[in-house]
Amino acid sequence: MFVEPAIENIIFNYSEFLMAPTNLIIAPLFLFTLFSLVRVQEGVEDSGKYPIVVSTWPFLEAVRAAWEAVDKRFNAVDAVVEGCSACEELRCDGTVGPGGSPDENGETTIDALLMNGATMEVGAVASMRYVKDGIKAARLVMQHTKHTMLVGERASIFAISMGLPGPTNLSSSESMDKWTRWKENNCQPNFRKNVVPVDSCGPFQPKDNLGHNKGICSEANSIGTIESRTCLVGPHSHDTISMAVIDKMGHVAVGTSTNGATFKISGRVGDGPIAGSAAYADDGVGACGATGDGDIMMRFLPCYQVVESMRQGMEPELAAKDAISRIARKFPDFMGAVVAINKDGVHAGACHGWTFQYSVRSPDMDDVKVFTVLP
């Protein structure tokens, strides 16, 4: 049985406590309190609910890495870092870590977030260049600054100054080939709207007349109705690992890592590093992870919504569906998903516009299990 060091000290000093005759009267109360403390520790260890790891998508090796860490008594924060780091190294789906999702200039950048549900501390980096370790950079922001987020090249300088490798070219032959083909296709589709290009790939100027020369994926017309974004956002044009871990002590943490939307405008930041959007955690409630069309989803803070709904008593499945439905009512063509887990270890997902899968490892499983959620 694991006993906290503080309890070990209590046991060690109990003999000295009994040496004083005046303390014999309250000794039974002392023993009852000590027994209760040990039972609390046993309850955490033997509940059968913890540890547990949940991640968006079938990122099996990432979940295994996080599970191995948390099963060896790593805390939830460090286990999340282990899991997301594994995904970055594997370049999961080409959309996590370096080497994927070129922007309009052909460059790959990194967004990442880490949140401690016990302290509500957050560290994040956004549009980070030249450093491949997004989740570790986010942890450095959390550990060594009083800020929540650092962005761009200055985030890279900070991460390198704190010991991460760099500067590193985050592009790959695959990402550059993808960018070259996109250029040859007249830079279509792209994320511009209400603009006129000087040539097919820009530079761009605002339209004088919103009803004239509408682009392929223009988002809004002159009367304000929302048009489809499906030519821009799909299961293979972007992705995020969003991972939640509850450790053996019942503490919760979440993390995200992504290289963003393919062919995004340079400088774009999605929902990945935004607390409450792609991830959120609260020790007293549970956690949520999200993936999808980040430009839309971040307007609704779906993970904050999920956790707050669970705080009010909603089961994870209903909380997840409610958060997704709020977005779908305004943007019927959006693609996205959330996965929710409460403090009891109950998990569920919800999605819109695509079929979603998420991965789980818990004490009653021999290996990672993938769950499929239909829209």
Checking if the pLDDT of 36 tops 70, the result is: no
Is 258 an annotated catalytic residue? no
- Express as a percent the part of the chain with pLDDT over 70: 79
Checking if the pLDDT of 188 tops 50, the result is: yes
Task: Evaluate whether residue 76 is within a structural domain.
Answer: yes
Name the domain count of the chain: 1
Query: What average pLDDT is seen over the chain?
Result: 86
Query: Is 268 assigned a ligand-binding role in the annotation?
Result: yes
Query: Is 344 assigned a ligand-binding role in the annotation?
Result: no
* Per-residue model confidence (pLDDT) at position 228: 55
Query: Is 283 assigned a ligand-binding role in the annotation?
Result: no
Task: Evaluate whether residue 10 is within a structural domain.
Answer: no
For 260, the domain range is 52-173+236-275+355-368
Residue-wise pLDDT for 68-88, tens only, equals 999 999 999 999 999 999 999
Q: Can you tell me the mean pLDDT for 236-263?
A: 92
Q: How many residues does the chain have?
A: 375
* Per-residue model confidence (pLDDT) at position 40: 35
Query: Is 313 assigned a ligand-binding role in the annotation?
Result: no
Task: Evaluate whether residue 196 is within a structural domain.
Answer: no
Query: Is 270 assigned a ligand-binding role in the annotation?
Result: yes
Task: Evaluate whether residue 130 is within a structural domain.
Answer: yes
Task: Evaluate whether residue 293 is within a structural domain.
Answer: no
Q: Which of 95, 240, 256, 262 is catalytic?
A: 240
Residue 133 three-state SS: coil
337 - beta bridge partners? Answer: 291, 351
Relative to beta strand 336-342, strand 347-352 is: antiparallel
Task: Evaluate whether residue 68 is within a structural domain.
Answer: yes
Q: Are 112 and 125 in contact (CB under 8 A)?
A: yes
* Per-residue model confidence (pLDDT) at position 200: 86
Task: Evaluate whether residue 74 is within a structural domain.
Answer: yes
The sign of the torsion formed by the CA atoms of 345, 346, 352, 357 equals positive
* Per-residue model confidence (pLDDT) at position 198: 87
Checking if the pLDDT of 20 tops 70, the result is: no
* Per-residue model confidence (pLDDT) at position 227: 47
* Per-residue model confidence (pLDDT) at position 220: 41
The sign of the torsion formed by the CA atoms of 55, 59, 65, 71 equals positive
Task: Evaluate whether residue 99 is within a structural domain.
Answer: yes
